[in-house]
C-alpha cells in the first residue's frame, strides 16, 4: 500500500508541475495583455517585444503540422444530426459567426465542422465595389498596409519580414514577372516593371469566425504558383506582433501574375487550425501534406503552350478557400 | 489564416483603410 501511494504521488507530480507552470505562464500573459490594454487606453505607445531566437525555435519545435492534420481529420468526422446544432451553436457563439449571411442557415445541413467552416455566403451579402480598382479578397481585419521599402514588408507596425524570404528566390523562367537577380534590393526593383510605379502591400487576418473563402481582389492574370511547406504557427495579431518573419515561417501559397499596372500577387498563409489551402483552378496543389519538408518550395507555371496568358481572374471571382487542418 | 497582397501600382495609389479595421470581401481596399 505504501509503495502504491509513493508511485501514485510520483506519477502525479509531472502533471502538477505542468499545471502550475502552464497556469503561471497563462496568468503572466494575461497580466501583460491587461497592462498593454491600459497603456493603449492612456495613449501610450506599447514598445514592441519580439520573441527571442530560442522562443521561436521552441514554438517551431511544436508539431503544429501534425496537430493541424489531426484537427482536420477530427473535423471530417460526420456528426450525428442531433449533435450538429449544439456543436455549431457553440462555435457560432464562441467566434461570433453571423449565420444570417450564410447561404444555408440550417445547421443540420452541415455534416461536420469542416463543411460548416467552408460555408458559402448569400450572393447579395457581399456586393463587390465597382468604383475601386482593388477590393478586399476576404473578410477579416486589416493588420497592415502601405508601401514596401528596402525590400522589407511590415506584418504589423514595426515588425517586418523580408520580401525575398516571403516570395522566395527569383526564377529566370519567362512566366515570372521578374528575372534572375542576386541581391534583395534589386528584387524589389525587378518586381516593379513600370517606371514611376511603387510596390504596395496589404495584410488581412481572418479570424476563426470569418468567412474563409477568398476571391480575386482585382482583374488580373495568374501566371505562377509557388507553394512553401512550412510551420503552422498561429497568425493571430498577437503572435504577428511577437514573432518576426512569422509569415515566412508558415506554410503558404503565393499566386503571382500581372494586372494593368504591372506585378500582382496574392498569398494565402496557413495557421495551426487552418492548415490547408485550396485554389479552385489548381488541382495539383496539396498543402499541409507530410510528403513535403519545411524549407523547400514547389513551383508551378500556369503558362503553357496552349495558354500563354495564364489564368484570367475577374474582380470578386471565387479564387480559393482555407480548410480546417 | 492570413491573406497578403503585394502589388505594383502608380505612385498615386491610395489605400482607403485604417490599421485594425474590420473589412468584408468586396469592400474597397484602394484605388488610383
Which pLDDT belongs to residue A300? Answer: 92
- For chain A positions 56-85, those within 8 Å of chain B (CB to CB) are none
What does the pLDDT average to over A106-127?
92
Asked if pLDDT for residue A5 goes beyond 70, the answer is no
* Total beta-carbon pairs less than 8 A apart between chain A and chain B: 180
Reported confidence tier of residue A174, pLDDT bands at 50, 70, 90: very low
B28 neighbourhood in chain A, CB within 8 Å: 129, 131-132, 134-136
Which pLDDT belongs to residue A198? Answer: 92
Which pLDDT belongs to residue A8? Answer: 65
Best B1, B19, B29 member to test A by mutation, with max A CBs in 10 Å, is B1
- A123 interface with B at CB cutoff 8 Å: no
Which pLDDT belongs to residue A184? Answer: 54
Q: How many CB atoms lie within 10 A of CB A165?
A: 16
Which pLDDT belongs to residue A10? Answer: 59
A145 neighbourhood in chain B, CB within 8 Å: 15, 17, 19, 29-30
Reported confidence tier of residue A318, pLDDT bands at 50, 70, 90: very high
What does the pLDDT average to over B7-19?
91
Where do runs of H (alpha helix) occur along A212-267?
237-242, 246-249
Q: Which residues sit opposite A253 in a β-bridge?
A: A227, A268
Q: Kindly state the percentage of chain B with pLDDT values over 70.
A: 100
CA–CA separation, A107 vs A115, rounded Å?
11
Which pLDDT belongs to residue A171? Answer: 65
What does the pLDDT average to over A114-131?
91
Asked if pLDDT for residue B14 goes beyond 70, the answer is yes
What does the pLDDT average to over A270-279?
91
Which pLDDT belongs to residue A191? Answer: 87
Alpha-carbon gap: A73 to the closest alpha carbon of chain B (Å): 18
Q: Which residues contact B12 (CB under 8 A, 6 or more apart)?
A: B32
Asked if pLDDT for residue A178 goes beyond 50, the answer is no
CA angle, A20 then A25 then A26, to 5°:
100
Higher pLDDT, A11 or A78: A78
What does the pLDDT average to over A87-109?
93
Which pLDDT belongs to residue B9? Answer: 94
Which pLDDT belongs to residue A1? Answer: 60
Asked if pLDDT for residue A26 goes beyond 80, the answer is yes
* Region of A96 on the Ramachandran plot (φ > 0 left; ψ -120 to 50 alpha; else beta): left
Which pLDDT belongs to residue A179? Answer: 45
Q: What residues of B are in the A interface, CB distance below 8 Å?
A: 1-11, 13, 15-32
Looking at every residue in chain A, the average pLDDT score rounds to 86
B14 neighbourhood in chain A, CB within 8 Å: none
ipTM score here? 0.96
CA–CA separation, A60 vs A139, rounded Å?
28
Higher pLDDT, A38 or A135: A135
Phi first, then psi: give them for residue A303, nearest 5 degrees.
-85, 120
Phi first, then psi: give them for residue A232, nearest 5 degrees.
-130, 65
Q: Which residues contact B13 (CB under 8 A, 6 or more apart)?
A: A198, A200, B30, B31, B32
Reported confidence tier of residue A175, pLDDT bands at 50, 70, 90: very low
Amino acid at each position: 500500500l505504501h509503495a502504491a501511494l509513493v508511485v501514485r504521488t510520483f506519477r502525479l507530480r509531472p502533471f502538477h508541475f505542468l499545471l502550475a507552470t502552464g497556469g503561471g505562464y497563462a496568468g503572466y500573459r494575461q497580466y501583460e495583455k491587461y497592462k498593454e490594454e491600459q497603456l493603449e487606453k492612456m495613449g501610450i505607445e506599447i514598445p514592441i517585444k519580439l520573441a527571442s531566437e530560442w522562443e521561436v525555435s521552441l514554438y517551431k519545435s511544436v508539431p503544429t503540422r501534425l496537430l493541424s492534420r489531426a484537427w482536420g481529420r477530427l473535423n471530417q468526422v460526420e456528426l450525428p444530426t442531433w449533435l450538429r446544432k449544439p456543436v455549431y451553436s457553440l462555435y457560432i457563439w464562441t467566434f461570433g459567426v453571423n449565420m444570417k449571411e450564410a447561404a444555408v442557415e440550417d445547421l443540420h445541413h452541415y455534416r461536420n465542422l469542416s463543411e460548416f467552416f467552408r460555408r458559402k455566403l448569400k450572393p447579395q451579402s457581399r456586393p463587390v465595389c465597382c468604383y475601386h480598382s482593388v477590393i478586399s479578397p476576404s473578410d477579416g481585419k486589416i493588420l497592415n498596409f502601405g508601401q514596401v521599402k528596402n525590400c522589407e514588408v511590415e506584418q504589423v507596425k514595426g515588425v517586418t519580414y523580408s520580401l525575398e524570404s516571403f516570395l522566395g528566390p527569383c526564377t529566370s523562367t519567362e512566366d515570372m514577372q521578374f528575372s534572375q537577380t542576386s541581391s534583395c534590393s534589386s528584387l524589389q526593383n525587378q518586381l516593379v516593371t513600370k517606371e514611376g510605379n511603387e510596390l504596395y502591400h496589404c495584410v488581412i487576418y481572418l479570424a476563426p469566425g470569418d468567412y474563409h473563402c477568398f476571391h480575386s481582389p482585382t482583374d488580373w492574370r495568374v501566371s505562377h504558383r509557388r507553394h512553401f511547406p512550412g510551420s503552422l504557427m498561429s497568425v493571430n495579431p498577437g503572435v504577428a506582433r511577437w514573432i518576426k518573419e512569422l509569415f515566412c515561417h508558415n506554410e503558404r501559397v503565393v499566386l503571382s501574375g500581372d494586372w494593368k499596372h504591372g506585378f500582382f500577387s496574392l498569398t494565402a498563409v496557413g495557421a495551426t487550425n487552418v492548415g490547408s489551402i485550396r485554389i479552385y483552378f489548381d488541382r495539383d496543389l496539396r498543402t499541409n501534406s507530410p510528403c513535403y519538408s519545411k524549407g523547400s518550395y514547389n513551383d508551378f507555371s500556369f503558362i503553357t503552350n496552349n495558354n500563354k496568358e495564364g489564368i484570367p481572374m475577374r474582380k470578386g471571382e471565387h479564387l480559393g478557400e482555407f480548410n480546417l487542418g | 489564416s492570413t491573406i497578403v497582397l503585394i502589388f505594383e501600382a502608380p505612385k498615386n495609389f491610395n489605400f482607403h483603410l485604417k490599421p485594425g479595421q474590420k473589412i468584408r470581401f468586396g469592400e474597397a481596399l484602394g484605388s488610383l
